[in-house]
Amino acid sequence: MKVPRDLEIKHYDRKLLLRPAELEDGPAILKAIQMSGAALSQWMDWYRPDFSLDITTEWLKTLSAAWEQGTNFQFVIMDDEIQQCVGTCGINHINQTWLIANLGYWIRTDRTGEGMATDAAKLLALFGFRHLGLRRIEIVTGVENWGSRRVAEKARATFEGILRNRLKLGEKNIDAAMYSILPEDIT
């Protein structure tokens, strides 16, 4: 199923906007990453202290082709009222046979606790069910990542258990909490 790249998903009550990440978002995404380094380094294997605009740009360059191939749908989470990038979210690791995918999110440190990650996760799950035809969406987060676990629960995901050594952080593997969302949970 082809999904248009000009898609925008809005949460009008909160003035939250999800839109496909583009090259011009690089500086805003980098700023959010840099100011959130301490939090990201605890849970995101992709984060490194020397994160740069070049690294951000290289990642953004891969997204258009991945979107067209239906393998990775990454969005910028925007505060539409003040036009501020507050993080990113996406659906990836898509299994076309079983119609299962992973949903991930992060919010810049100075904007956590506002419910934006929860709203973004709900909107993204709806996108996955309506536009991608998914039957199951998984949120896999570090067992000790209580912020992300609360977001999953508030987004109506069901806790299914602990997966041993499921996530890689640097040179070590950590246990993960597995959550799932089914279409009937959120639509």
Question: Which residue has better confidence, 37 or 135?
Answer: 135
Q: Does 1 reside within a domain?
A: no
Q: Does 163 reside within a domain?
A: yes
Q: Does 4 reside within a domain?
A: no
Q: Within 13 A of 137's CA, how many CA atoms are on the CB side?
A: 29
Q: Taking 90 as the threshold, does the pLDDT of residue 9 lie above it?
A: no
Domain holding 93, by residue range, is 9-186
CATH at residue 51 = 3.40.630.30
Q: How many domains does the chain have?
A: 1
Give the residue among 12, 36, 32 at the shortest CA–CA distance from 21: 32
Q: Does 59 reside within a domain?
A: yes
* Residue pLDDT, tens place only, 129-158: 999 999 999 999 999 999 999 999 999 999
Structural tokens at position 70: 């239906």
**pTM, rounded to two decimals:** 0.91
Q: Does 2 reside within a domain?
A: no
Q: Does 3 reside within a domain?
A: no
Q: Does 26 reside within a domain?
A: yes
pLDDT band at 105 (very low <50, low <70, confident <90, very high): very high
Q: Does 24 reside within a domain?
A: yes
Structural tokens at position 64: 């258009």
